[in-house]
Amino acid sequence: MSKFTVINHPLIQHKLRILRDKNTSTKDFRDLVNEIAMLMAYEVSRDMQLEDVEIDTPVAHATVKQLTGKKVAVVPILRAGLGMVDGVVKLIPAARIGHIGMYRDEKTLEPHEYFIKLPEDIEKREVIVVDPMLATGGSAKDAIAALKKRGAKYIKLMVLVAAPEGVKAVQAADPDVDIYAAAALDDHLNQNGYIVPGLGDAGDRLFGTK
Ligand code: PRP
Ligand code: URA
């Protein structure tokens, strides 16, 4: 079974508190999603490999560390995942960016894929799938399946808010994909498939479409 990790740094918890508040403006919501994504990326990238290199500092010769190993692709699930990309790329500037367009049917809650474009060498990259919300898990599962179909092998899922149902569904379908969240599991999904207490519709709050 994959790991479910809550990155419960006080700064993340505080920013998430503001994000959940229904009175938070679109601008603040957008800024906070990016800030939290950046802070999370620090922890999600903790297992990146390092190698020794020799350099000359202004004072002496030294053996120091630099990143080696797999290159990274950040893959947002559209639309709401887009809000997390800049934050992650601030910390991992060499990352390539793929896109997977997915919308949930409001009645059936079934996800529908409408767009996919990935870096050509996706099979060699460590892929960080980003989406603020993990509700039923349908969108994340389908996005991961689409990535695996195109050869991706090293996949992590990074979300802000997760329902128990979604974590269970992704762990059952993809035991190789570790999940990172900004908060401990929320309580449940309501009859409309919204996470309770959650933060509402992440896409609409990010882009001001409602
Ligand atoms: C939201 C969210 C996830 C999905 C989560 O997207 O950003 O992608 O729902 O729900 P699930 O776990 O039950 O699949 P939505 O379909 O509302 O599209 P949007 O980002 O374009 O608003
Ligand atoms: N998608 C959202 O944007 N919010 C939820 O609570 C569930 C799915």
Q: Is the CB of 168 under 6 A from ligand 1?
A: no
CB-based contact 80:129 (threshold 8 Å): no
Any alpha helices (H) in 65-163, and if so which ranges?
82-91, 138-149
State the Cα torsion 8-68-65-155 to the nearest 10°: 10
Three-state DSSP class for 102?
strand
Catalytic residue IDs: 104, 108, 201, 204
Q: Enumerate residues lining ligand 2, CB below 6 A.
A: 80, 133, 135, 193-195, 198, 201-203
Three-state DSSP class for 35?
helix
Task: Identify the residue whose C-alpha is closest to ligand 2 atom 5.
Answer: 194
Q: Is the CB of 136 under 6 A from ligand 1?
A: yes
Task: Identify the residue whose C-alpha is closest to ligand 1 atom 3.
Answer: 133
Instruction: Measure the CA–CA gap between 98 and 176, rounded to whole angstroms.
Output: 20
- pLDDT > 90? residue 196: yes
CB-based contact 12:39 (threshold 8 Å): yes
> 54 CA distance to ligand 1 centroid (A)?
47
**pLDDT tens digits for 142-170?**
999 999 999 999 999 999 999 999 999 99
Nearest to 145 by CA among 161, 133, 157, 134: 157
Q: What angle do CA 58, 63, 64 make, to 5 degrees?
A: 90
Atom index in ligand 1 nearest the CA of residue 137 equals: 12
- pLDDT > 90? residue 69: no
- pLDDT > 90? residue 91: yes
pTM (predicted TM-score):
0.96
